[in-house]
């Protein structure tokens, strides 16, 4: 299970002119926020990501001042500054002491909207040192193309060689053994290391559909100002928990009592792959009744996250309501607008995340779930039995434009 992401933030950004003279390219503002902040938000959607390392070069002092030693949701932030321009491979070599056995690597000046854990799943099932995420087809002659044979990368074609085909998006899952291929500095991963990996059949790739853009040229930098915030407005699927994701055995709170519903993990991954946010909204009156504590709820949800990550899936946020008006624990004995059929948990998600109501929905196993969804302005669907992924698939529409 990968817990580390590394972001390259050291490029000069010369094609952007004066914009990057005093600010590193990934810290340029997009719709009022540093572009890098969007990447950090996206990475920390995945609960397994606990550490993010920023590899800084140009104006490293700005990166250090803004991010070093801070945290982003659950993840810690560390900045490693190269002493002189080292190239993309050299930056990794310089940070060798900080790298875990396997990690995600991202270019800090591009955005690709896809399920990052699916790439990790591919890497786990392969012996290749590097797995790259490819945009299946990106129009334009400014991009080089990647030639595949199955999942194996066979060659790279230069920019302008053909008008379409898969492109390298600058997102990788990497084994730290790659450091053996970085002999001298400066060193470019793309120009010096990857061709050697291709020759040794150590470079594989996955094809994904999703919104891709980099901010390296003025026209795309202007385009990203409005396109990126709009693309982050994704539809969401809200899952009730007991009876939908797991077999309802009455007040499930222990890991040993948890039993996944058939197709539940696959249903969540389906949401991830299609570009939906995925949330859990669950009544947990067992807390108010004294059967278990809130720490038991968190422990179980953390365990669920680990189980899902092993399948290339994740939940963006777990919402639960511990209150009940007839509870025996005074601190939790009250009426709550978060307890379904009230819509509070759904509304709190909609206020805290950039959710697009169009296309969003809830899956529950009783009428109070559906009533909560309707009160929040969303359709609700009753799941009774069978494979959850099979039930959910026709309700979803692919929202990631190719």
Active site residue 317: no
The pLDDT assigned to 399 comes to 42
Confidence of residue 1 (pLDDT cuts 50, 70, 90): confident
The pLDDT assigned to 400 comes to 40
Choose, from 240, 273, 316, 369, the residue flagged as catalytic. 240
Choose, from 109, 220, 242, 365, the residue flagged as catalytic. 242
The pLDDT assigned to 263 comes to 98
Active site residue 367: no
Confidence of residue 142 (pLDDT cuts 50, 70, 90): confident
* Average pLDDT across the chain, whole number: 94
179 or 401: which carries more pLDDT confidence?
Answer: 179
**Mean pLDDT of the region 288-308:** 98
The pLDDT assigned to 59 comes to 93
The pLDDT assigned to 401 comes to 37
The pLDDT assigned to 397 comes to 72
pLDDT at 398 over 60: no
Confidence of residue 165 (pLDDT cuts 50, 70, 90): confident
Which residue, chain included where needed, has tokens 């422990």? Answer: 299
CA–CA separation, 350 vs 235, rounded Å? 10
Show the domains of the chain with their CATH numbers.
4-231 (3.90.550.10), 236-395 (3.40.50.1000)
The pLDDT assigned to 15 comes to 79
Confidence of residue 402 (pLDDT cuts 50, 70, 90): very low
């Amino acid at each position: 299970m990968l817990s580390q992401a590394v972001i390259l933030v050291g490029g000069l950004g010369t094609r952007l002119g004066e914009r990057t003279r005093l600010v590193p390219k990934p810290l340029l503002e997009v719709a009022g926020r540093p572009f890098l902040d969007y990447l950090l938000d996206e990475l920390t959607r995945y609960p397994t990501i606990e550490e993010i390392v920023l590899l800084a070069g140009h104006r490293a002092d700005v990166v250090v001042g803004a991010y070093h030693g801070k945290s982003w949701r659950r993840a810690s932030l560390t900045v490693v500054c190269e002493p002189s321009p080292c190239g993309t491979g050299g930056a990794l070599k310089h940070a060798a002491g900080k790298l875990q056995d396997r990690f995600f690597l991202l270019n800090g000046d591009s955005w690709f909207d896809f399920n990052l854990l699916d790439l990790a799943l591919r890497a786990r099932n392969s012996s290749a040192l590097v797995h790259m995420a490819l945009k299946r087809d990106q129009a334009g002659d400014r991009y080089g193309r990647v030639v595949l044979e199955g999942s194996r990368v066979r060659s790279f074609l230069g920019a302008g060689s053909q008008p379409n085909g898969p492109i390298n998006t600058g997102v990788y899952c990497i084994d730290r053994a790659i450091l053996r291929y970085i002999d001298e500095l400066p060193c470019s991963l793309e120009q010096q290391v990857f061709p050697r990996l291709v020759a040794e059949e150590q470079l594989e790739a996955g094809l994904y559909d999703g919104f891709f853009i980099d901010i390296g040229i003025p026209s795309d930098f202007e385009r990203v100002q409005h396109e990126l915030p709009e693309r982050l407005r994704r539809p969401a699927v809200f899952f009730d928990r007991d009876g939908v994701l797991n077999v309802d055995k009455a007040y499930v709170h222990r890991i040993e009592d948890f039993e996944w519903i058939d197709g539940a993990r696959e249903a969540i991954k389906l949401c991830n792959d299609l570009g939906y946010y995925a949330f859990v909204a669950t009544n947990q009156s067992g807390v108010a009744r004294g059967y278990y504590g809130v720490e038991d709820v968190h422990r179980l949800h953390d365990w669920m996250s680990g189980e899902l990550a092993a399948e290339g899936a994740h939940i963006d946020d777990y919402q639960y309501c511990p209150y009940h008006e007839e509870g025996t624990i005074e601190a939790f004995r009250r009426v709550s607008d978060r307890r379904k059929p009230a819509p509070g948990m759904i509304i709190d998600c909609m206020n805290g995340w950039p959710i697009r109501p169009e296309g969003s929905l809830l899956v529950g196993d009783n009428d109070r779930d559906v009533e909560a969804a309707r009160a929040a302005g969303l359709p609700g669907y009753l799941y009774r039995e069978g494979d959850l992924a099979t039930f959910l698939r026709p309700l979803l529409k692919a929202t990631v434009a190719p």
